[in-house]
Each structure stands twice: as C-alpha cells, then as structure tokens.
Structure 1
Amino acid sequence: MKQDCAKVRQLPEGKGIGCYAGQFDKYEGLTVNFSEAVASAGGSVVDANGKATVDTDAAKKGLQFLVDGFKDGTIPKQAATYEEEDGRRAFQAGNLLFHRQWPYQWTLANAKDGSSKVGG
C-alpha cells in the first residue's frame, strides 16, 4: 500500500493525496481500526478466554503500523479525528488513495451523479 501510494504521489495528479485513512477518532471506530491493524499483523486484542493479548510482538507491530503511518504521513494528520463520514467524504473527494470503511461506502463512492470524484 505504501509503495503504491508513493507511485501515485509522484504523478502530477497525485500531488498532495493522502495515502490511507480509516476511523481514528476517539470512539468505537478507533477500537475497530486498531483491532484490524493488530489482526493484520498476526496478533489479537484478546485470546479465546478473553485475556488481553495486546502486549505481544504481533499486536505491537499492528499498533506500530498506525503510529508510523501518522508519523510519516501515510495517514494524514486530519484523519486522527475521522469517523465514518469524515473519511468517506475525503475519499469521495479524491483526497485519499485508500480508505478503510464499511461496505455502504462502495455504492456512494461509485455514484455517477457527480457526488463522487472516484466513481468507477
């Protein structure tokens, strides 16, 4: 994802585009996005018995992906307050290359009524 974003940013039409965003405001969306980052790194938040497992190397790697994303600009700073609609609007406006969102965004992002710059 980072490599693809770097390639797009080198294009004239990719100048200033954000690479990736999700829901990072301080609410349940952050919990879901954190959990997904941990799982994508091979970790878990809790084990089968409900015991916290966020101190494993894999869980730390998932968290580090998010931390590094904000530090290196892969995740735009303004995404720190994104909830579902904030990120969806940024993506549909063509300001993000990748966006972690719920399935309802698919239809809205592909709208052909002029409301989405990324339709199609």
Structure 2
Amino acid sequence: MTTRPSPPDPRRSSMFIAILDFSTAAADRPAALAQLDRERGQVQGMPGNIAFRVYAGREDDTQITVVHEWQDEASFAGYVDSASFARSGQVLRPMMAGAPVSRRFRAELVETVG
C-alpha cells in the first residue's frame, strides 16, 4: 500500500524544494533506482518531509531525477545529515556518470487543487 504525502499546512505556505538530477550507466540505473526506493519510506518519515519522488528519465535509460519537498530548509538539512542520505551516497556516487546537479528553491504554495 502506498501512502500519499501529507499536504502542506495551508496556514504555512512556504516550503523548500530540492531537485537532484544525475546520470548512471544504463546498466546501473535499476540498482540506483532500487537504492532510492529502499530509502523512500525512511525519508518520507523524516520530520518536515512533504514529498520524496524519484523519476527515471524518459529521454534515455541513464537519467534519474529526485524531487524533494520539505517544510523548511532546516528539515532538508536534517535529511542531508541523516544516515539515509549517507547510505544512498555510498551506493549512488560510484554509479554516477558525472557530477550530480542539485537545485534548491524556497517556494511559496499558491494553492493545492484536487
């Protein structure tokens, strides 16, 4: 059973978003995705996590994107300092074909529709 992330508190409209893009060899992508899947529940259970989504690129069989939504930068910093982040780094970094790119944003929620 998959649980949906809790929606942000409508009284608190700001959040912190991190988007990580990296590539692997085509043969390594399934293992990289599996590592991220193993950590998903741990990350989603961390204080301040709103969402943790992993996407396999559709342009080719090497791209991976991870989208994080956090209540604030401090929550994201807690994730970066976590055992989960360290474990993933140990597994993923040797598989990366080049340097990863992490873009981080302070965002304001305008509305949630649906």
Which range, TM-score by smaller chain? under 0.3
Larger Rg: 1
Higher RCO by CA contacts (8 Å cutoff, separation 6 or greater)? 2
After TM superposition, the score normalised by the length of structure 1 is: 0.27
Q: Answer 1 or 2: which has greater helix percent.
A: 1
After TM superposition, the score normalised by the length of structure 2 is: 0.27
